[in-house]
Amino acid sequence: MHKRFFLRAIAATLAAIGLHIPLAQAGEADNFPSKTVRIVVPVAAGGSADKLTRTLADKLSQLWGQAVVVENVAGASGTIGAAKVAKAPADGYTLLQQGEGLTLNAILFPELPYDSRAFAPVIKAVVNPQILVVNPGTGIRTFAEYLARAKAKPDSISLGLPGNGGIAHVAHEIITQETGAKVNYIPYAGGGPATLDVLGGHTNATLITLAAVTEYVRSGKLVALAVTTPYRSPALPDVPTMAEAGLPGFSVESWQGYFTPAGTPQPIVDKINRDIQTVLKAPDVRAKLEDMGFKVAGGPPAELAASLQTERPKYALAIKTAGISLR
């Protein structure tokens, strides 16, 4: 009672001097969350985005004392899941997991089932390399061998894409443009199913977030050829960068973050940001994510907003130059 009276007094004082902050916004962040929080992952279960989100959801549930449910809503390069979050109440109880795909979709799709300003950035949680892996049965053991085969026999290598028009697609199109190595793209609804088909020998290769396949590379079930970042991953330190393996200057880094529907009160956005950072900084969580191949990021919502602005012209140019289209 005393707390609510105090908040009303603050709101009344601010209103008297010409500033209006809704009472609900002034105090609701203190009690957030008071019910189940849902995180929509717009790709199929089993991929890196799903693994990351389930790790965070488990710890957030413990921190908040409320259930945090992960819901996979795959399809249409992530736009179906994103549209679901865009239509949700702007109260912080529905979050969207997304990365650079949010920017790529805005470039590639002539029309989207949501407004381009439908989401409020919360946090860039991790950054990570993409990694090129092949089924051991292909006989390919190095990035140079991969390029040689793809150039000598165009389309003879089937490459599963964890999403048509995603960062892996963009990255490989840049490889094709720089080397002439052409492969047969097979799009999937996410990294999980794309990986399963390479493991089963139904496709030859995939270019995917490193964290999605770390365990398979370590066990020998997949052969890692190179990573897309200018640095090697501590999770797989023996895997060279593409720059080291034959493409000087090549660099593509992807990321995973979280958003709320636009209009979510800033105090709630800030609280979610702080709490996710608390989870990311926990030694056991950081160690687990880094072992998977992620690099923990963090930072305030404004940093993610700035990142979105910076990467759009870069990817728009790459898509235009490579001629990538969803049609």
Taking residues 269-295, report their average pLDDT: 96
CA-wise closest residue to 260 among 142, 126, 18, 97 = 97
3-state SS class at 37: strand
Read off the pLDDT band of 165 (50, 70, 90): confident
Residue pair 255/158 in contact (Cβ under 8 Å)? The answer is no
The pLDDT, as a whole number, for residue 18 is 39
Taking residues 100-117, report their average pLDDT: 93
User: In this prediction, what percent of the chain has a pLDDT beyond 90?
Assistant: 81
Q: Which long-range contacts (CB under 8 A, 24 or more apart) does 196-199 make?
A: 196/46, 197/160, 198/133, 198/134, 198/135, 198/160, 198/222, 199/135
Taking residues 173-193, report their average pLDDT: 93
Return residue ranges of the chain for CATH 3.40.190.150: 32-122+258-322
Does the pLDDT of residue 220 top 70, yes or no?
yes
Which residue has better confidence, 299 or 28?
Answer: 299
Residue pair 228/171 in contact (Cβ under 8 Å)? The answer is yes
Read off the pLDDT band of 2 (50, 70, 90): very low
Give the range among 3-7, 143-147, 272-276, 283-287 with minimum mean pLDDT. 3-7
Taking residues 296-304, report their average pLDDT: 96
Taking residues 204-214, report their average pLDDT: 96
3-state SS class at 183: coil
What average pLDDT does the chain have?
A: 91
Domain 32-122+258-322 matching CATH 3.40.190.150: the answer reads yes
Which residue has better confidence, 119 or 6?
Answer: 119
Return residue ranges of the chain for CATH 3.40.190.10: 129-253
Residue pair 170/250 in contact (Cβ under 8 Å)? The answer is no
Interaxial angle between packed helices 301-322 and 101-108, expressed in degrees from 0 to 180 and rounded to the nearest 10: 40
Q: Is 220 left (phi over 0), alpha (psi -120 to 50) or beta?
A: left
Give the range among 21-30, 207-216, 247-256, 257-266 with minimum mean pLDDT. 21-30
The pLDDT, as a whole number, for residue 25 is 52
The pLDDT, as a whole number, for residue 321 is 84
Would you state the structure tokens that stand for residue 185, as one six-digit string?
């793209």
| Spatial distance between the Cα atoms of 195 and 312, rounded to a whole number of angstroms | 28
Does the pLDDT of residue 11 top 80, yes or no?
no
Domain 129-253: CATH superfamily, name plus number: Periplasmic binding protein-like II (3.40.190.10)
Read off the pLDDT band of 6 (50, 70, 90): very low
Taking residues 183-207, report their average pLDDT: 96
